[in-house]
Each structure stands twice: as structure tokens, then as C-alpha cells.
Chains A and B, each alone.
Chain A
Amino acid sequence: MPPSDAELANEALAGSEEASRALVARYATPAVNFIFRLVRDRSLAEDLAQEGFLRVFQRLKTYDPERKFSSWFFQVLRNVTIDYLRVNRLATSSLDELTDAGFQAPEADRTSSSPERLAEQESLARAMDGALARIRPEYREVVVLRYQEGLTHPEIAEILGLPSGTVKTYLHRARKELAILLKPFA
């Protein structure tokens, strides 16, 4: 059975490089994904994720093992991103630009679908990406935490420092706005 996040955090705090590496490996993809949805720039997302990890390790002493590690982690990550966004304007890249740069679906998915279905899926992905970029940032945050990271309402509330009811409202409104934006696509 793999060690829990709290166990890894504890070992990392005690100076274990192996535990630190395992923690980074476990959270690298969620971290980059979370930030990417907020800044829409892949290399910037990686830079900010790295800065987030540095801050996490710097403040590991303040982590309370009673709390869920992921909530604490995303809270730190969000603060790093907000700090960056406060002082910098974004030059964002859309999914189209990423696709043009060569980021495509893996071969396995490509061969399993018909060309029409594949085109439809890619078109839906673009539409979703565009719609997500158009909704309010606070809505986008809750959508990403809920549907990408699979966090619960109370966990999201803890990360964002909002009441759980407000998180539900944001999610509801975000979905409504996305539905309006994606309706022409259906």
C-alpha cells in the first residue's frame, strides 16, 4: 500500500529526498493542470507549479496532518498563481495554439475512433476550452477543482476560503454559463 500524502509530507519534512520526490511526482500533473487552466500557458504553468512546490516544501512545517494534504497543497498553489497574476498580465495560448504546436491526442485514442468522431471530439474540446476561458475566473477555479481534480464542495470551499454554499452556487452558475456558451455546439 503506497504511503499517504501526510506520511510522505512528514518524511519529507524530516529530510527524506525520496519522500519529497514521491510527493512531487504524485502532484506534478494535478499542479500543472490546475495552473494551466488559470493561466492558459503551458510553460508558465510549469514554472508556477515549480514555484508552488518550492513554497509547499518551505512551509511544510505549517501543514497540519489532520487536514487533507491536497486541499492545503492547492491552496498554496492558488496563492502562488494569484500572486503572479496580480503583477503580470497574461499572454495566453489557446488549445488551438497548443494543437498547432504539436500537442495532440495519443495514437491509441486516435486509432480507436472514426475520423468523424475524432473531429467531433476535438471540436468539442476546443469549444469547451474556449468556453472555459470566457467564464469568470472564480467560476473557472471551482470548475477545475471540481471536475478536473475531483475535489468535493467542502474541500474546494477550504481551498478558496469560501462557504460551501457559495462554492455550490459558483458551480451551478459556471455550468449554466458554460451551457449557454456550448449550446450552439450541440
Chain B
Amino acid sequence: MTRDAIRDRNMPDRKELERWLFSEETGQEDAADAAFAHVFAALPKVEPGEGFVQRTIAEVWRLRARRRRLVAFGWAAAIVLVAGGALATYLASPRLAPAAIKAFVFASGHAVPWLVAYTTVAMDWWWTLARVGSVIASVLMTPARVAAVVGVELFGILAFFALQRIAGAGRLGDAHV
């Protein structure tokens, strides 16, 4: 790293700082923006070290070459796998096809009756629960109770809406100067 690794631009002085602070205090947005740009120039500029560009380019090229090798390897592996799989299937198909069909028939023959039986049982339970639920509801839910429940729900919705408004106002305050 060299001595002038950090350079400064046209460094401002106290007067420019005072000019900026005055613009900020008096609310002159554009003037403050321009004056602060001058004051900000007080910060020294950091230059990258010698050889940064060279190192970066070398690394970019090394990674690019590695990626190309990986892509080429991936393609080669995919081609070998697909070709090998196709060949194996072609050679083994006279033996594999009848076995696969038998296995499918066996599985369907056992699975379908089991599925039907359990679905029937589940549906019976479902209807029983539905009947019990409707009997309880008809006993408990009088018009007055329904009105009370609806009232509580409305109150909750209003409270939620009010909270959302309060939170939203806070966020809107952030968005405007």
C-alpha cells in the first residue's frame, strides 16, 4: 500500500461547515444538500492497493475456467448416464416389463380394497361428528347468543383496524420529511 492510498479531494474548511449547518438550521433543503456535498469531501478517498485490478481479473478468470470445467463435466456425466440408462433398459426390457406389470397388478389388487374400506370408516365417523355438532349448536345458539358473538367479533375487528391505523401512521411519518 502506498502513502497516498488515501487521497483527499478539495478539502473544505470550517466556513463551509458553518454554511452547511446554517442551511440545515434554516431548512433550506437544496442549499443544505449542496453544502453538505462540499463538507463530505473532507473524507479522504480510499484507493485500492496496487495490483487490485490484476488480482481481481486473475481470480475472475480462474473461477470462469473452473466453472467451464464443471459444466463440461456435468454434461459429460449426464450424457453417459442417459445413454447407459437407455442401453440398460433396452437390454433388460424383455425381463423387466412382465415383472413390472405383475408388481403393479399385485399392488393395485391389495391397495384398492384397503383404501375403500378405510375411506368408508372415516366417512362414517365424519357424519357422526357432524350430527353431534349440529345437535349441540341447535341447543346452544339462541338468537341472543348469536347477536352477542357477532358483537364481540365486530368489536375485535374494530380494535384491530384501529391498531393498524396507529401503526400505519407511524410508518407514514417515516416516509415524509
A-side residues, CB < 8 A to B, are 17, 20-21, 24-25, 28-29, 31-33, 36, 42, 45-46, 49-50, 53-54, 57-58, 95, 98, 102-106, 109, 113, 117, 120-121, 124-125, 128-129, 132, 143, 147-148, 163, 165-166, 168-169, 171-172, 175-176, 178-179, 182-183, 185-186
In contact, B53 and A125 (Cβ under 8 angstroms): no
Could you tell me if A105 and B7 are in contact, using CB atoms closer than 8 angstroms?
A: yes
Q: B42, A124: Cβ atoms under 8 Å?
A: yes
Given contacts A50-B59, A106-B7, A166-B175, 16 further A-B contacts (CB under 8 A): A17-B61, A24-B53, A103-B3, A103-B44, A104-B4, A106-B8, A121-B8, A121-B11, A124-B12, A128-B40, A147-B36, A165-B176, A169-B176, A182-B21, A183-B21, A185-B17
Q: How many of B's residues come within 8 Å of A, CB to CB?
A: 47
Indicate whether A58 sits within 8 Å of B11 (C-beta atoms), given known contacts A28-B48, A129-B43, A182-B21: no
**A20, B14: Cβ atoms closer than 8 Å:** no
Q: With A117-B13, A148-B40, A169-B177 in contact, do A29 and B60 touch (Cβ < 8 Å)?
A: no
Can you name the residue of chain B whose Cβ is closest to the Cβ of A18? B57
Docked CA distance A128–B8 (Å): 13
Residues of B within 8 A of A (CB): 1, 3-8, 11-14, 17-18, 20-21, 24-25, 29, 32-33, 36-37, 39-40, 42-49, 52-53, 55-57, 59-61, 63-64, 67, 174-177
Q: Is the CB of B43 within 8 A of A20?
A: no
Nearest chain B residue, comparing its CB with the CB of A148: B40
Q: In the complex where A32-B46, A175-B32 touch, is A124 in contact with B13 (Cβ < 8 A)?
A: yes
- Whether B37 lies near A24 (C-beta < 8 A) is no
Q: With a CB–CB cut-off of 8 A, which chain B residues contact A33? A: 45-46
Q: Residue on A with the closest CB to B18?
A: A186
Contacting residues, chain B, for A42 (C-beta < 8 A): 1, 5, 46
Q: CA–CA, A17 to B57, complex, Å?
A: 8
A166 contacts across to B, CB distance below 8 A: 174-175
A36–B46 contact, CB under 8 A? yes
A29 CB contacts on chain B under 8 angstroms: 45-48
CA distance A54 to B25 in the complex (A): 44
Shortest Cβ distance from A136 into chain B, in angstroms? 12
A50→B176 contact, CB < 8 A: no
Do A175 and B3 touch (CB < 8 A)? no
